[in-house]
Amino acid sequence: MQSTPSSDTQAAPAPSRREAQGPAAPTVAAAQVIDAVKVYGKGDTSVRALDGITASFVAGRFTAIMGPSGSGKSTLMHCLAGLDKLTSGEVLIGDVNLSTLDDKALTVLRRDRVGFIFQQYNLVPTLNALENITLPLDLAGRKPDREWLNSVVDTLGLGDRLKHKPSELSGGQQQRVAVGRALVTRPAIIFGDEPTGNLDSHAGAEVLSFLRNSVRQLGQTVVMVTHDPGSASYSDRVVFLADGRVVDDMADPTAERVLDHMKGMGD
Amino acid sequence: MWRTTIKSLAAHKLRLALTALAVVLGVAFMAGTFVLTDTIKHTFDALFAQTSAGKDVIVRATSPYTSNGRDAFAGSRPLTPETLLPVVQSTPGVRAAEGSVSGLVTVVGKDGKALKKQAPTLAFNWSTDRAMSSLTLRSGRGPVNGHEITMDSGTVKDQHWQLGDTITVITNQPPRQFTLVGVTGFGKADNLAGATLVSFDTATAQEAIGKPGYFAQIEVASARGVSTDQLQSAIGARLPTGFEAVSAQSVAQQTANTVSKNLSFFNTFLLVFALIALFVGAFLIFNTFSILVGQRTRELALLRAVGASRAQVNRSVLAEALFTGLVGSVLGLVIGIPLAAGLYAALGALGLSLPSSGLQLLPRTIIVSLLTGTVITVLSAVLPARRASRIPPVAAMRDDAIEVDTSLRRRALTGGLVLVVGVVLLALGLFNRAGIAIVGMGATVTFLGVAMLVPLVSSPLSRLIGSPLPAVSGVAGRLGQENAARNPRRTAATASALMIGLAVVAAIATLGSSATASFNGLFDKSIKSDYVLVGSGGGQDRGGISTAVEPAVRNARGVVAVSPYRQAVWHDGNATKQVTGIDPVDGPKLLTLNMVTGSSSALAQGALLVDDTVAGDHHLKVGDTVQMGFPATGVKPVIVGGTYKTNQFLGNYTISSQVVADNVNQVSDDALFVKTASGGAQQQADLASAVAAYPNVAVKTSAQFKQDQKKQLNSILAIVYVLLLLSIIIALIGVVNTLALSVMERTREIGLLRAIGMQRRQVKRMIRGEAVVVSLLGAVLGLVLGVGLGAAVVSALSKEGLDTLAIPTATIVVVLVLTALFGIGAAVWPARRAAKLDVLQAIAAA
The ipTM, to two decimals, is 0.77
**What's the CA gap between B308 and B302, in Å, rounded?**
9
No. of helices (H) and no. of strands (E), chain A: 9, 10
What 8-state DSSP symbol labels residue B669?
Answer: B
User: Which residues, 6 or more positions from A152, have their beta carbon under 8 angstroms from its beta carbon?
Assistant: A133, A180, A183, A184
**What's the CA gap between B806 and B148, in Å, rounded?**
53
A206 band by pLDDT with thresholds 50, 70 and 90: confident
Interchain CB distance below 8 Å, A140 and B757: yes
Q: Is B730 exposed, middle or buried (0-12, 13-18, 19+ CB in 10 A)?
A: buried
The torsion defined by the Cα of A25, A30, A35 and A37, in degrees rounded to 10, comes to -150
Model confidence at B239: pLDDT above 80 = yes
Model confidence at B139: pLDDT above 90 = yes
CA distance B324 to chain A (A): 34
**What's the CA gap between B767 and B747, in Å, rounded?**
12
Give the range with max mean pLDDT: B60-64, B109-113, B448-452. Answer: B448-452
**What's the CA gap between B110 and B124, in Å, rounded?**
22
pLDDT at site A11: 38
B844 touches chain A (CB under 8 A): no
**What's the CA gap between B834 and B764, in Å, rounded?**
7
- Taking any CB pair shorter than 8 Å as contact, residues of chain A touching chain B are 78, 81, 83-84, 103-104, 107-108, 110-112, 115-116, 118, 120, 122, 124-127, 135-136, 138-141, 181
Of A83, A122, A138, the CB nearest to B474: A138
DSSP code per residue over B187-244: TTBSSBTTBEEEEE-HHHHHHHHS-TTEESEEEEEEPTT--HHHHHHHHHHHSPTTEE
Q: Which long-range contacts (CB under 8 A, 24 or more apart) does B41-46 make?
A: B41/B259, B41/B260, B41/B263, B41/B360, B42/B357, B42/B358, B42/B360, B43/B193, B43/B354, B43/B355, B43/B357, B44/B193, B44/B256, B44/B259, B44/B260, B44/B263, B45/B256, B45/B260, B46/B355, B46/B357
B252 band by pLDDT with thresholds 50, 70 and 90: confident
B69 band by pLDDT with thresholds 50, 70 and 90: very low
Of the listed ranges A163-177, B318-332, B512-526, B540-554, the one predicted with least confidence: B540-554
Tens-place pLDDT, residues B572-598: 877 788 999 999 999 999 999 999 999
- On whether the CB atoms of residues B451 and B490 are closer than 8 A, the answer is no
Interchain CB distance below 8 Å, B759 and A139: yes
Provide, as residue numbers in chain B, all residues whose Cβ is less than 8 Å from the Cβ of A138.
Answer: 474-475, 478
**What's the CA gap between B652 and A217, in Å, rounded?**
95
**What's the CA gap between B351 and B358, in Å, rounded?**
19
Provide, as residue numbers in chain B, all residues whose Cβ is less than 8 Å from the Cβ of A112.
Answer: 757
A17 band by pLDDT with thresholds 50, 70 and 90: very low
For A7-265, CATH gives 3.40.50.300
A20 band by pLDDT with thresholds 50, 70 and 90: very low
Considering only alpha carbons, which residue of chain A is nearest residue B756?
A111
Beta strand spans in B101-147 (E): 102-104, 106-107, 121-125, 135-140
- On whether the CB atoms of residues B570 and B655 are closer than 8 A, the answer is no
Provide, as residue numbers in chain B, all residues whose Cβ is less than 8 Å from the Cβ of A181.
Answer: 756
Interchain CB distance below 8 Å, A138 and B753: no
pLDDT at site B126: 93
Other beta carbons within 10 Å of B824? 16
B64 band by pLDDT with thresholds 50, 70 and 90: low
Provide, as residue numbers in chain B, all residues whose Cβ is less than 8 Å from the Cβ of A113.
Answer: none
pLDDT at site B330: 95
The values of phi and psi at residue B623, to 5°, are 100, -20
pLDDT at site B86: 93
Provide, as residue numbers in chain A, all residues whose Cβ is less than 8 Å from the Cβ of B479.
Answer: 124, 126-127
Beta strand spans in B11-69 (E): 57-61
Provide, as residue numbers in chain A, all residues whose Cβ is less than 8 Å from the Cβ of B752.
Answer: 118, 122, 124
B402 band by pLDDT with thresholds 50, 70 and 90: very low
Beta strand spans in B493-551 (E): 531-535
Model confidence at B15: pLDDT above 90 = no
Provide, as residue numbers in chain A, all residues whose Cβ is less than 8 Å from the Cβ of B755.
Answer: 81, 83, 110, 116
Tens-place pLDDT, residues B342-384: 888 877 666 555 666 678 888 999 999 999 999 999 999 998 8
Interchain CB distance below 8 Å, B756 and A135: yes
For residues B522-536, average pLDDT: 86
What 8-state DSSP symbol labels residue A8?
Answer: H
Residue type, B168: T
Tens-place pLDDT, residues B532-556: 998 765 443 445 788 889 999 999 9
What 8-state DSSP symbol labels residue B608?
Answer: E
Residue type, B336: G
DSSP code per residue over A17-66: ---S-SS--TT-EEEEEEEEEEEESSGGG-EEEEEEEEEEEETT-EEEEE
User: Which residues, 6 or more positions from A103, have their beta carbon under 8 angstroms from its beta carbon?
Assistant: B760
B754 touches chain A (CB under 8 A): yes
Side-chain-side CA neighbours of residue B671 (13 Å): 21
Distances (CA, A) of A138 to A153, A173, B469, B746: 17, 21, 14, 20
pLDDT at site B81: 92
Tell me which residue of B429, B507, B512, B503 sits closest to B796, measured CA to CA: B429
pLDDT at site B620: 92
DSSP code per residue over A230-259: HHHTTSSEEEEEETTEEEEEEES--HHHHH
Provide, as residue numbers in chain A, all residues whose Cβ is less than 8 Å from the Cβ of B475.
Answer: 135, 138-139
CA distance B480 to chain A (A): 10
Per the prediction, chain B carries an average pLDDT of 86
Tens-place pLDDT, residues B427-472: 888 887 777 788 888 888 999 999 889 888 888 999 999 889 888 8
Over its C-alpha atoms, chain A yields an Rg (Å, rounded) of 18
Considering only alpha carbons, which residue of chain A is nearest residue B845?
A120
Interchain CB distance below 8 Å, B756 and A125: no
- On whether the CB atoms of residues B303 and B317 are closer than 8 A, the answer is no
Angle at Cα A182 formed by Cα A178 and Cα A185, nearest 5°? 140
Interchain CB distance below 8 Å, B748 and A120: yes
Provide, as residue numbers in chain B, all residues whose Cβ is less than 8 Å from the Cβ of A78.
Answer: 840
User: Which residues, 6 or more positions from B444, have their beta carbon under 8 angstroms from its beta carbon?
Assistant: B279, B422
Tens-place pLDDT, residues B677-736: 887 888 999 999 999 888 888 899 988 988 888 888 888 888 888 888 888 888 888 888
User: Which residues, 6 or more positions from B519, have their beta carbon under 8 angstroms from its beta carbon?
Assistant: B706, B709, B710, B801
pLDDT at site A9: 39
Q: Which residues of B357-379 are buried (b: 16+ CB within 10 A; e: fewer)?
A: beebbeeebeebbbebbbebbbe
Size of interface A-B (CB pairs under 8 A): 68
CA distance A139 to chain B (A): 6
Considering only alpha carbons, which residue of chain B is nearest residue A79?
B840
Considering only alpha carbons, which residue of chain B is nearest residue A142?
B474
B179 band by pLDDT with thresholds 50, 70 and 90: very high
pLDDT at site A23: 45
Tell me which residue of B374, B475, B413, B517 sits closest to B765, measured CA to CA: B475
Considering only alpha carbons, which residue of chain B is nearest residue A178?
B756
Distances (CA, A) of B556 to B61, B105, B549, B688: 41, 25, 11, 9
Of B478, B486, B756, the CB nearest to A136: B756
Interchain CB distance below 8 Å, A139 and B760: no
CA distance A107 to chain B (A): 5
Domain boundaries defined on chain A: 7-265
Interchain CB distance below 8 Å, A107 and B474: no
Q: What is the three-class DSSP state of A104? A: helix
Model confidence at A15: pLDDT above 60 = no
Tens-place pLDDT, residues B813-841: 999 999 999 999 989 999 998 888 888 87
Model confidence at A1: pLDDT above 70 = no
B621 touches chain A (CB under 8 A): no
Provide, as residue numbers in chain B, all residues whose Cβ is less than 8 Å from the Cβ of A107.
Answer: 754, 757-760
Of A84, A103, A139, the CB nearest to B475: A139
Tens-place pLDDT, residues B125-138: 998 888 888 888 99
pTM tops 0.90, yes or no: no
For residues A72-85, average pLDDT: 88
- On whether the CB atoms of residues B34 and B367 are closer than 8 A, the answer is no
Of B749, B756, B843, the CB nearest to A110: B756
Of B486, B749, B756, the CB nearest to A111: B756
pLDDT at site A21: 43
Q: Are strands B608-611 and B634-644 parallel, antiparallel or unpaired?
A: parallel
Q: Are strands B196-200 and B121-125 parallel, antiparallel or unpaired?
A: parallel
**What's the CA gap between B365 and B28, in Å, rounded?**
11
Angle at Cα B326 formed by Cα B320 and Cα B332, nearest 5°? 135
Give the range with max mean pLDDT: A96-100, B131-135, B763-767. Answer: B763-767
**What's the CA gap between B292 and B14, in Å, rounded?**
12
**What's the CA gap between A261 and A4, in Å, rounded?**
13
B396 band by pLDDT with thresholds 50, 70 and 90: low
pLDDT at site B354: 63
Tell me which residue of A213, A183, A192 sits closest to A120, measured CA to CA: A192
- On whether the CB atoms of residues B544 and B538 are closer than 8 A, the answer is no
- On whether the CB atoms of residues A76 and A33 are closer than 8 A, the answer is yes
B625 band by pLDDT with thresholds 50, 70 and 90: very high
Model confidence at B743: pLDDT above 50 = yes
